[in-house]
Chains A and B, each alone.
Chain A
């Protein structure tokens, strides 16, 4: 099955420096022929490579404002974290107003849906008797990480709809009611902090539930900034707890009052998931795990420093009521589509073949120097061994193996150079009878 990915490489900018391969949490990148390549099946669109690339060759492809033209009534769905980028410069109403002025007819705050999801989550946890801890489905990069690297934890992902998807559905309903327009004429556009949420909205996962388009914050940042002082204010309906979802710890705060753990930054998330997989953390009820440092305020498509953004977001919403909305949808509407493992790291579909490959992989890895230097274009010696076994690389791609081969070859050459043709070679004194040269 093919995956759509928002994270791409701009080939002409890539210098093949191998910086990105080390940071990818699913070892999805290889440098081949001087260019980084993303293995599509493995990529979870976490945006780590966008952050790390010194040449800005990794980009996220989303929609831009021209996509609005396909609809007669357009609703913007700003992620809670988005307003953090302008906090300190304007009040919430003015930020929303400046966003609306870009060509939208209405705004539906994702924070509003987040409050509803928090209520539903609380109720779900109250009645839950299964394996602990449950893991938040809100960060699609974390969900992808679980699918690819921790498939056994897929069943511990909370089976509730995400705030973005709920916001899209409710906004569409409101829009149709307000205008009398049919479904196809109402467009919902999520303003995204990250590539993972662009990708999540595009995956063909059963029936369409998410927004109709996803616009990276970075592409409209300047336009919103310009409009801050002139645009008409637009009233906010969401409360402080909903906006809290924009930074790490906010989701847990809005659920409230239990043993809830929060972890942010993809490599920290990996540590925690590893422990859960080993059977630890069973006394924790729920884990809010976010791939980005500081949570969505640190999204790869954001502009401000994440920690400053977190501070500003907190201050911005300080005066908002901490209300939480009644649920205008039924329990059934809140159920998420099931999540399945994506066994992209599996060596082969056939068990016997996979075992044989693993045996060769272990043997190959033992021959490599274990320096994980990345010069071969694979992220680690083990990954190179895997690539060799899969027929996508050779052992001489390792500079150390190559050098050793060259050394052996050089010695052989020297050895050969010493040999003289039989017509010139004289038998050494004392063993005239011995055969000389190659007969």
Chain B
């Protein structure tokens, strides 16, 4: 089965380049010819995952694995990690530093937004261990 892997480095606090990887993923999905609704969900999930790395970590990587049946988006970072994942999944709950919230980011909608777009969502994290967010969107 044909498959395609993409990967983009993401730097901490690099708001100017923020969303660049997600935009490339969207472009690729469009050129490949996925249905618009699938592309929209994948693009939003990728964007939020990328912003999470920028806001909360010391840097990481945004990856996409694309097959005809599914789009898997993985965001890996090394950072302080998420101490309480359940809490982080609540809308409006944010651990983003004040100065970032003042810039209009980190409103605590990132993970809830991802969950709304994903068919499957898995988060591996712990204090001091970094975070891996794995998002699957099925094409059906």
With A and B bound together, what is the CA distance between A355 and B2 in angstroms?
Answer: 6
Instruction: Please judge, given known A-B contacts A352-B2, A356-B2, A359-B2, whether A346 and B44 are in contact too, CB under 8 Å.
Output: no
**Chain A contact patch, size range:** 20 to 34
With A and B bound together, what is the CA distance between A142 and B49 in angstroms?
Answer: 31
| Closest beta carbon of chain B to A383's beta carbon, Å | 12
Q: Are B68 and A351 in contact (CB under 8 A)?
A: yes
Q: Is A278 an interface residue (CB 8 A)?
A: yes
A352: contacting residue among B1, B19, B44, CB under 8 A: B1
Mark B residues whose CB is within 8 Å of A: 1-4, 6, 19, 22-23, 26, 28, 30-34, 36, 39-40, 43-44, 47, 66-68, 139
Q: Is A349 an interface residue (CB 8 A)?
A: yes
B68: contacting residue among A152, A345, A355, CB under 8 A: A355
Q: Are A358 and B36 in contact (CB under 8 A)?
A: no
Q: Are A354 and B23 in contact (CB under 8 A)?
A: no
B33: contacting residue among A278, A279, A354, A362, CB under 8 A: A354
Q: Are A278 and B43 in contact (CB under 8 A)?
A: yes
Digit string of A347-370 for contact with B (CB within 8 Å is 1, else 0)?
Answer: 111011111101100100000000
Q: Is A396 an interface residue (CB 8 A)?
A: no
Q: Is A151 an interface residue (CB 8 A)?
A: yes
Binding site secondary structure of chain A: helix
Q: Are A345 and B4 in contact (CB under 8 A)?
A: no
In the complex, what residue of chain B is closest to A355 when comparing beta carbons? B2
Q: Are B32 and A351 in contact (CB under 8 A)?
A: yes
Contacts of B28 on A, CB cut-off 8 Å?
358
Q: Are A346 and B33 in contact (CB under 8 A)?
A: yes
B67: contacting residue among A347, A348, A355, CB under 8 A: A355
| Closest beta carbon of chain A to B108's beta carbon, Å | 17
Supply 8 A–B pairs (Cβ within 8 Å), ascending by A: A152-B39, A278-B43, A279-B47, A346-B32, A347-B31, A348-B33, A358-B28, A362-B4
In the complex, what residue of chain B is closest to A151 when comparing beta carbons? B36
| Closest beta carbon of chain B to A183's beta carbon, Å | 39
Instruction: Please judge, given known A-B contacts A349-B33, A354-B32, whether A359 and B4 are in contact too, CB under 8 Å.
Output: yes
Q: Are A352 and B68 in contact (CB under 8 A)?
A: yes
**What 20 additional pairs, Cβ within 8 angstroms, besides A352-B2, A358-B31?**
A151-B30, A152-B36, A152-B39, A346-B31, A347-B31, A347-B32, A348-B33, A351-B32, A351-B34, A352-B68, A353-B2, A354-B31, A354-B33, A355-B2, A355-B4, A355-B68, A358-B4, A358-B32, A359-B2, A362-B6
Interface residues in A260-291 (C-beta closer than 8 Å to B): 274, 277-279
Interface residues in A307-366 (C-beta closer than 8 Å to B): 341, 343, 345-349, 351-356, 358-359, 362
Q: Are A347 and B47 in contact (CB under 8 A)?
A: no
| Closest beta carbon of chain A to B12's beta carbon, Å | 21
Q: Are A355 and B36 in contact (CB under 8 A)?
A: no
Instruction: In the A-B complex, list the 5 residue pairs whose CB atoms are closest, starting with the nearest.
Output: A356-B2, A355-B2, A354-B32, A346-B33, A152-B36
